[in-house]
């Protein structure tokens, strides 16, 4: 409309100068939107709309091409190579569908990151042992397992009880007809009430009757691992974080992070404090995390500590509670080793603190299980004990994904309620762990290896920093590799537990017999001597 019409041709000279502009204008008219940007007429709208659109499509493009990246594995060669033989054999039918896409079907990015082979020495060691396990007679050159915290010291007691009582407890004393309805049909997924009652009593017995537990605050799961995961699902959203004092149990990384999308923030403890958590360090980590824009939802502690084996003193528990209250965050206390004590120190459960003081309890959640204290990891029994109504309701519903088989529950009800047996078991178990601990630690001491002060758990936390070639994670892993491949002993290196000081190792001694201890010490000696010569 307003634009010049290329009419005025009269002055020849003019037409020449004019033509380019006129031609330019008409050309511009074709590319209407760009004109606005370049010429500025109507520029406010077009000049902002167009780049916005460009920017938007650019973002779209980026988004499309970015998302597959983290999980690029599904299409990566490693997988497609395994599928290739399948693909080539595809028969006529697949050719029928004309648009048949040939690429392998995608797996979710979380699955491909989970499916990736283990790189943690903790899991590599466990895998190696399962391939070549030591046996005194059959495989004397096999690898001795000191990496799995399992207790085999009291199998004889359990075996005896099982052989006497199994049938009656699963099927009932009066034969099968009636009691089949107690095990075969659907049962509450969060555990039988009878079992909860029995467990509550067992827990309080294990903790020296210092606390009583309320069965209605209990949710039973298929192992302590899902108990932790369910709590993590309930307390934090994807992108949130938990503070975890290090060194911590290597499995936490899987339990708390894999499916939940939650992060773990290590809070470093040092050997000078005997690896007891300090509130200052917690506070620092909390503030740093907040600065990064990540919400901290809670603290995850293990008490007795795994891998160190020490206990949290009463005062520390109070301080933790105060800290949690101040920051308004949760505390998850993993007390799975509560009954595996061998020291003289007294174990204080978080539940005991709460029982005595009338503080806001709904931020406290305790995880327990029968894998360690009753040495029954194969039975898969975990416990969530929470004071938070919402968490209990949600966890109860989530147990549909992780409930305990009913016959196992029936059997355990009678085992755990057999107070005389349990009493005898707990005492014998403590005694045997203590003997084993003393023997093992003494053996290490003779090699010049000292252990951190500990009084609970199935392991000791040994300081081998004198044997490592360089004071770094690399040096530590070199020693670990030597122990695994030369001495044929699988221990857990401190770096797998996120320990900040190199040279610490977790050695579980409860899968051994006393004769084995001698062999283990002998094997370590060989490596220790070569290391000393080198250094």
The residue from 27, 29, 56, 486 that contacts another protein (CB under 8 A) is 56
Q: Does 8 bind another protein (CB under 8 A)?
A: yes
- Taking the least distance from each CB to another protein, the nearer of 300 and 451 is 300
* Phi then psi dihedrals of residue 363, to 5 deg: -105, 5
Binding another protein (rule: CB under 8 A), the pick from 378, 438, 472, 485 is: 378
Give, as ranges, the residues between 415 and 474 that touch another protein (CB under 8 A): none
Asked if residues 347 and 338 have their Cβ atoms less than 8 Å apart, the reply is yes
Which listed residue (334, 361, 368, 430) is catalytic?
334
Residue 21 engages another protein in binding (rule: CB under 8 A): yes
Torsion of CA 382, 383, 388, 391, to 10 degrees: 30
Among 132, 357, 427, 442, binds another protein (CB under 8 A): 357
User: In degrees rounded to 5, what are phi and psi of residue 143?
Assistant: -85, 135
Please check whether residue 320 is in contact with residue 280, taking contact to mean a CB–CB distance below 8 angstroms.
no
Q: Which of 388, 429, 454, 495 binds another protein (CB under 8 A)?
A: 388
Shortest Å distance, C-beta 55 to another protein: 5
Under rule CB under 8 A, residue 483 binds another protein:
no
Number of residues that bind another protein (CB under 8 A): 141
Active site residue 249: yes
Cβ-based nearer residue to another protein, 108 or 513: 108
Which of 124, 277, 336, 366 is flagged as catalytic? 336
Q: Return the residue matching tokens 């003494």.
A: 442
CB of 219 to another protein, least distance (A): 13
Of the candidates 161, 191, 205, which has an alpha carbon nearest to the alpha carbon of residue 403?
191
Q: Of residues 113-172, which lie at the interface with another protein (CB under 8 A)?
A: 114-115, 148, 150, 152, 155, 158-159, 162-163, 166-167, 170-171
CA distance 285 to 289: 6
Residue burial 167-183, b: 16+ Cβ < 10 Å; e: rest:
eebbbbeeeeeebeebb
Tell how far CA 197 is from the center of its chain: 28
Q: Which stretch binds another protein (CB under 8 A): 46-54, 268-276, 434-442, 490-498?
A: 46-54
Q: Is residue 33 a contact point for another protein (CB under 8 A)?
A: no
Contact positions with another protein (CB under 8 A) in 171-210: 171, 175-177, 179-181, 183-187
Tell the smallest beta-carbon distance from residue 116 to another protein (Å): 8
Binding status of residue 284 toward another protein by CB under 8 A: no
Applying CB under 8 A, among 292, 295, 445, 526 the residue interacting with another protein is 295
- Who's near 278: CB < 8 A, 6+ residues apart? 269
The residue within the footprint of another protein, chosen from 27, 31, 32, 54 (CB under 8 A), is 54
Based on the shown chain and the rule CB under 8 A, indicate whether residue 307 belongs to the binding site for another protein: no
Q: What are 364's strand-pairing partners?
A: 331
**CA gap 9, 19 in Å, rounded:** 10
359 binds another protein (CB under 8 A): yes
Of 208-216, 340-348, 398-406, 420-428: span binding another protein (CB under 8 A)? 398-406
Q: Looking at beta carbons only, is 271 or 318 nearer to another protein?
A: 318
Q: Is 372 labeled as catalytic in the residue annotation?
A: yes
Q: Which is nearer to another protein, 12 or 344 (CB)?
A: 12
Signed CA dihedral, 212, 153, 367, 502: sign only: positive
Phi, psi at residue 335, to the nearest 5°?
-115, 35
Do the beta carbons of residue 284 and residue 292 sit within 8 Å? no
Q: Are strands 489-490 and 459-463 parallel, antiparallel or unpaired?
A: unpaired
Residues 233-272 that bind another protein (CB under 8 A): 233-238, 240, 254-255, 258-259, 261
We find the least distance from the C-beta atom of residue 306 to another protein, in angstroms, to be: 15
Place of tokens 């209605």: 216
The contact mask relative to another protein for 78-117 (x = CB under 8 A, - = no) is: -x--xx--xx-xxx-xx-xx-xxx-xxxxxxxxxx-xx--
* Shortest distance in whole angstroms from residue 185 CB to another protein: 6
Residue number, 258 or 434, with CB nearest to another protein = 258
Q: Which of 196, 327, 361, 372 is catalytic?
A: 372
379 binds another protein (CB under 8 A): yes
CB of 232 to another protein, least distance (A): 9
**What are the structure tokens assigned to 331, written together?**
């505390």
Distance, in Å, from the CA atom of 162 to the CA atom of 156, rounded to the nearest integer, reads 10
User: Phi, psi at residue 242, to the nearest 5°?
Assistant: -115, 145
Residues sharing a CB contact under 8 Å with residue 164, sequence separation 6 or more, in sequence order? none
What does the per-residue mask of binding to another protein show for 209-238, with x meaning CB under 8 A? -------------xx-xx--x---xxxxxx
For the residues of 3-36, what is the DSSP string, one character each? SPPS---SSHHHHHHHHHHHHHHHHHHHTHHHHH
How far is 256 from 231, CA to CA, in rounded Å?
9
Min separation Cβ 272 and another protein, Å = 27
Backbone angles phi, psi at 489, to 5 degrees: -130, 130
* Least CB distance to another protein at residue 98 (A): 9
Of the pair 147, 502, the CB lying nearest another protein is at 147
* Rg (alpha carbons) of the chain, rounded to whole number: 32
Q: What part of residues 312-341 is at the interface with another protein (CB under 8 A)? A: 318, 322, 324-326, 328-330
Burial of 489 by CB count in 10 Å (0-12 exposed, 13-18 middle, 19+ buried)? buried
CB of 201 to another protein, least distance (A): 21
Do strands 382-386 and 218-221 pair parallel, antiparallel, or not at all (unpaired)?
Answer: antiparallel
Query: 266, 264, 263: which is closest to 281 by C-alpha?
Result: 266
The window from 7-15, 457-465, 484-492, 512-520 that contacts another protein (CB under 8 A) reads 7-15
Q: Assess 25 for contact with another protein (CB under 8 A).
A: yes
Count other C-beta atoms under 10 Å from residue 349's C-beta: 25
Catalytic residue positions, numbered: 249, 334, 336, 372
């Amino acid at each position: 409309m307003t634009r010049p019409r290329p009419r005025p041709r009269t002055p020849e000279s003019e037409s020449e100068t004019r033509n380019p502009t006129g031609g330019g204008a008409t050309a511009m008219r074709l590319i209407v939107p760009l004109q606005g940007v370049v010429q500025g007429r109507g520029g406010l709208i077009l000049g902002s709309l167009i780049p916005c659109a460009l920017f938007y499509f650019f973002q779209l493009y980026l988004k499309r091409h970015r998302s597959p990246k983290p999980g690029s594995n599904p299409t990566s060669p490693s997988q497609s190579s395994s599928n290739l033989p399948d693909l080539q054999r595809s028969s006529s039918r697949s050719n029928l569908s004309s648009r048949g896409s040939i690429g392998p079907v995608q797996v979710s990015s979380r699955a491909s990151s989970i499916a990736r082979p283990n790189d943690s020495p903790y899991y590599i060691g466990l895998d190696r042992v399962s391939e070549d396990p030591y046996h005194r007679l059959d495989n004397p050159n096999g690898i001795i397992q000191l990496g799995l915290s399992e207790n085999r010291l009291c199998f004889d007691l359990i075996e005896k009880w099982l052989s006497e009582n199994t049938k009656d407890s699963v099927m009932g004393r009066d034969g099968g007809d009636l009691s089949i309805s107690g095990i075969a049909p659907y049962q509450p997924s969060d555990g039988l009430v009878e079992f909860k009652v029995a467990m509550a009593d067992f827990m309080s017995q294990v903790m020296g009757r210092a606390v009583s537990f309320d069965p209605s605050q209990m949710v039973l799961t298929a192992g302590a691992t899902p108990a932790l995961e369910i709590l993590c699902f309930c307390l934090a959203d994807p992108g949130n974080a938990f503070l975890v004092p290090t060194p911590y149990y290597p499995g936490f990384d899987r339990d708390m992070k894999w499916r939940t999308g939650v992060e773990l923030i290590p809070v470093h403890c040092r050997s000078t404090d005997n690896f007891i958590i300090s509130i200052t360090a917690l506070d620092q980590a909390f503030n740093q995390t907040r600065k990064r824009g990540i919400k901290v939802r809670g603290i995850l502690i293990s008490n007795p500590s795994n891998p160190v084996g020490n206990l949290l003193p009463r005062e520390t528990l109070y301080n933790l509670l105060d800290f949690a209250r101040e920051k308004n965050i949760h505390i998850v206390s993993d007390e799975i080793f509560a009954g595996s004590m061998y020291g003289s120190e007294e174990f204080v459960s978080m539940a005991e603190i709460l029982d005595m003081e009338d503080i806001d309890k709904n931020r406290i959640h305790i995880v327990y299980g029968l894998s360690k204290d009753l040495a029954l990891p194969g039975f898969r029994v975990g416990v969530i004990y929470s004071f938070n109504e919402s968490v209990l309701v949600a966890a109860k519903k989530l147990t549909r994904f992780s409930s305990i088989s009913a016959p196992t529950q029936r059997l355990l009800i009678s085992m755990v309620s057999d107070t005389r047996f349990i009493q005898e078991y707990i005492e014998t178990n403590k005694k045997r762990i203590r003997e084993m601990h003393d023997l093992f630690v003494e053996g290490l001491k003779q090699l010049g290896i000292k252990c951190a002060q500990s009084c609970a758990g199935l392991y000791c936390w040994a300081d081998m920093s004198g044997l490592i070639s360089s004071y770094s994670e690399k040096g530590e892993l070199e020693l670990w590799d030597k122990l695994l491949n030369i001495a044929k002993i699988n221990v857990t290196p401190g770096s797998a537990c996120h320990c900040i000081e190199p040279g610490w190792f977790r050695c579980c001694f409860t899968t051994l017999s006393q004769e084995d201890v001698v062999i283990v010490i002998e094997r370590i000696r060989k490596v220790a001597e070569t290391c000393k010569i080198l250094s």
